[in-house]
Amino acid sequence: MFRTSRCYGGSTDFVIELCAVVGDLVRHGFVLGWDEFLIEPERRPPTSRIFYGWWIVAAGFMIQLLNAGMIFHSFGVYFVHFQETFGWTRTQISGAFSIQQLETGILGPVQGWMIIRFGPRMIVSIGIVIAGIGLMLLSRINNLWQFYAAFTTIALGSSLGGFMAIFTTVANWFEKKRSRAMGIVMAGMSVGGLMVPIMAWSTESFGWRSTAFASGIVLILVGLPLGQLMRKDPEDYGQVPDGADPSPVEDGAPNDTGPDLNFTAREAMRTRAFWYVSFGHASALLVVSAIMVHLIPFIVDRLEYSLATAGIVVTLMTAMMIFSQVGGGVLGDKIVKRYALTICLIGHSIALFGLAFATNIWLVAFFVVLHGVSWGTRGPIVISIRADYFGRKAYATIMGFSSMIMMVGMMTGALFTGFVADRTDDYTLAFGILATVAAFGSVLFFMSKPPPLPERLQRAARERAEQRQA
């Protein structure tokens, strides 16, 4: 189907060929299958003895694995090759990662609205196609602006087809087991990190261009069928969150389960909890982005180990994340979430501060394990706490506005580290400063107490109480 000889000619020929291929796929209904894939199916309960929410969790796990393994975790692998091929600075390469986070933050509220309006099935499917095309374009770059353009395309696709759409869907399908379900999905991102040694081997054996192009094809061919399992709300299919039996209410009888805890986005943004959690999350992402982008260059450039060794260290980190995310999901359903988040952010800070002064691979491995455990445990808890505090109905929009704040951490951490490292030719100062900021950020999580109900929900609660008494 893909005529490689033409695709690897000039850039113009490549783009024309790529558009022709995607057009053929669309016409044959393979990529989007407009009638079957993008339109929500008939509103009927999915026929399975297994609660359908767990199928969504499984699909989300695999999509996260693909996105993380071929894009997110592998950025450091491409980082080294871009320096060797083009001679770009750390700041220039880190800029692409920051552009990705900026785009994600700006699109957050719009994407939240799109998920509510069109459903996650359509959004995820389109996002996977765009991300796959972006990886193919990445294989053809020859200068910095083409790199930024290709990575912007990848960022748009991975944003639409990844984090927010998947976790919004999971939040809608689970309540009591929400942290557990999110922990399993987030483990997909960690398992994707196990692909880093494979990606490093592929780039060294076949070249980074061939690896990027093949990754785009794999993402589309494997990711699209998984995206078709996404569904918006369990109630639309005759089910309820967690797969519990619906509790019928007799006509005229008040429902005694209590008022729905569903803030609007505006009501949520008026609470202190929204801002504390958002900025606390951003503080954690300062560390995540710095390590994600610069860990491999740090090991290769400063400590002078091989790319293969750096890949093994990343694998160790992600292995710790896998166990911690599943464990953190279970833990998050049983303990006070804000206390757990406070401890995790302190762990992030200690890990980055330790890396700043690490002088051998064993110290790096120790602090990377601490970072992996902190990241893995924090991930499902910080995502689910918003649904616990503000409810499910406006979760996508609330998460979208929160992502604008989170974006500051993801964008600043990588870019700031690259900027300082370029000028000092060392990572110590940059890592130390970000670790200090993250430590102060733990206070925000500690202060993020559950918000009081807005007047609208308090009034509804009083009316329901009066109905029960009558």
Residue 295 within a domain: yes
The number of folded domains in the chain is 1
**Domain limits at 391?**
49-240+262-455
Q: Rounded to an integer, what distance in angstroms lies between the CA atom of residue 57 and that of residue 63?
A: 10
Q: Rounded to an integer, what distance in angstroms lies between the CA atom of residue 154 and that of residue 152?
A: 5
The vertex-438 CA angle with 380 and 79, nearest 5°, equals 80
Residue 121 within a domain: yes
Residue 338 within a domain: yes
Q: Rounded to an integer, what distance in angstroms lies between the CA atom of residue 379 and that of residue 345?
A: 11
Q: Rounded to an integer, what distance in angstroms lies between the CA atom of residue 161 and that of residue 70?
A: 14
Residue 424 within a domain: yes
State the burial class of residue 54 (Cβ atoms within 10 Å of its Cβ: 0-12, 13-18, 19+): middle
* CA contacts within 13 A on the Cβ side of 122: 14
Residue 23 within a domain: no
CATH code of 188's domain: 1.20.1250.20
Residue 3 within a domain: no
Q: Rounded to an integer, what distance in angstroms lies between the CA atom of residue 281 and that of residue 398?
A: 14
Residue 300 within a domain: yes
Written as tens digits, the pLDDT of the chain (470 aa) is 333 333 444 444 544 455 554 455 444 444 444 334 333 444 444 555 778 889 999 999 999 999 988 988 788 888 888 988 998 888 888 887 777 777 777 777 788 788 888 888 999 999 999 999 999 999 999 999 999 999 889 988 988 888 788 988 888 888 888 878 888 888 888 788 788 888 989 998 999 999 999 999 999 999 999 999 998 888 877 788 877 665 544 433 333 334 457 888 899 999 999 999 999 999 999 998 888 888 988 998 888 888 888 888 888 888 888 888 778 777 777 888 999 999 999 999 999 999 999 989 999 999 999 999 998 899 888 888 998 899 888 888 888 888 888 888 888 888 899 899 989 988 999 999 999 999 998 999 999 999 988 888 878 777 777 777 76
Residue 26 within a domain: no
